[in-house]
Amino acid sequence: MWGSRMQLFSNQNGLLKETAERPFKLERDLQKLVEFNLELLMGLEVVKSEFGVSDCRFDTLAFDQQSKAFTIIEYKRDKSFSVIDQGFRYLAVLLDRRADFLVGYNEQKRSSLKLNEVEWSQSRVVFVSPEFTDDQKQSVNFKDLPIELWEVRQYANDIVIVVQIGSSKSAGSFKTLAVKNAEIKRVADDVRIPTEDDHTAKVGEAIAELYLKFKTAILNLGTGIEVKPQKGYIAFKKKGNFVDIELQKQGLKLWLNALYGSINDSKKLARDVTHIGHYGNGDYEIKASDDSELEYIMSLVRQVLAKR
């Protein structure tokens, strides 16, 4: 499953020449690169480097403004550590010391964020390394695991390759691990990373199928589109959200992430929700109870995507 190998070449008049990897000399070099580009890479904002709580020190403390949750990021050049054990230990510290993390955020951001404004259930740990072992990749093969692996490698000619290790389509829930591990069970009771299944399970088969049609149409608009389930909706991202979908009993509700008036909606199908509270991002809201306007709606989504 994890046996693939990436090779990078330059095309010199039809002759491929392998581009040499330039390993990071220090973990700190990797950390600086990721922190400086954290919003672009992961959609997160840096709260503090080397954030200390009690006897623990985390390489990067970050915050996800979309999910309103904290993310701990650790950088590794060696491969001799357990992703699961270390990840859940960090999550346990975060959940046990919530007030300390909140104070750290408010001090760094000069903010007044409150405990009940943070989605603690969506806390995550991210490990970043030039390479992970097959065992480490296999250990995170769960659809709802609050632990992520990101490989970051740099090459000659200022080339950087970033790959998030994803789970397989048949992956199960990480909560099966909680049966044999008390610390995982304690964290599992508090942490719940949303999945597409969570959203489709709340509606009937017809609406789930309708969502699948819209999802397929959106993914066909281009490459590099990421599907990111949130607590109240499912986000489709490419350099940030461009369309969000909420599954409802009678249909779908879509939000296009654009300023109202910035795209051409000749049919006036979308509603202006600039000053109306709503789950998703953007000023355009569309309701769809069937796929009769699918092609037209995709023409609107395509306009938003073109602005990425």
Cα–Cα–Cα angle for 155, 161, 165, nearest 5°? 140
> Which of the four pLDDT bands, split at 50, 70 and 90, describes residue 79?
confident
Is pLDDT at 1 greater than 80 in this prediction?
no
Choosing from 142, 172, 188, the residue where a domain stops is 188
Instruction: Report in angstroms the alpha-carbon separations of 95 from 47, 58, 111, 144, 190.
Output: 17, 14, 20, 18, 8
> Which of the four pLDDT bands, split at 50, 70 and 90, describes residue 4?
low
55 and 94 share one domain: yes
Is pLDDT at 30 greater than 90 in this prediction?
yes
Report if residue 117 sits inside a domain: yes
User: Which residues are CB-contacts of 30 (< 8 A; sequence separation ≥ 6)?
Assistant: 24, 75, 77, 128, 129, 130, 152
Q: 101: domain CATH number?
A: 3.40.1350.10
40 and 169 share one domain: yes
Per-residue pLDDT reduced to its tens digit, 157-203: 899 999 999 888 888 888 888 888 888 888 888 998 899 999 999 99
Q: How many domains would you assign to the chain?
A: 2
Report if residue 130 sits inside a domain: yes
> Which of the four pLDDT bands, split at 50, 70 and 90, describes residue 29?
very high
User: Which residues are CB-contacts of 247 (< 8 A; sequence separation ≥ 6)?
Assistant: 199, 200, 202, 203, 207, 208, 211, 234
pLDDT of residue 284: 96
150 and 233 share one domain: no
Is pLDDT at 2 greater than 80 in this prediction?
no
165 and 215 share one domain: no
Q: 297: domain CATH number?
A: 3.90.1150
174 and 67 share one domain: yes
22 and 146 share one domain: yes
Average pLDDT score over the chain: 93
Per-residue pLDDT reduced to its tens digit, 221-278: 999 899 999 999 999 999 889 999 999 999 999 999 999 999 999 999 999 999 888 8
Report if residue 140 sits inside a domain: yes
Report if residue 288 sits inside a domain: yes
Report if residue 3 sits inside a domain: no
Choosing from 188, 209, 231, the residue where a domain stops is 188
Give me the percent of the chain exceeding a pLDDT of 70: 98
182 and 208 share one domain: no
pLDDT of residue 140: 92
- Using DSSP's 3-state secondary structure scheme, residue 15 falls into strand
> Which of the four pLDDT bands, split at 50, 70 and 90, describes residue 76?
very high
pLDDT of residue 183: 84
Choosing from 133, 164, 188, the residue where a domain stops is 188
Q: What is the domain range of residue 226? A: 196-306
Report if residue 66 sits inside a domain: yes
DSSP state of 166: P
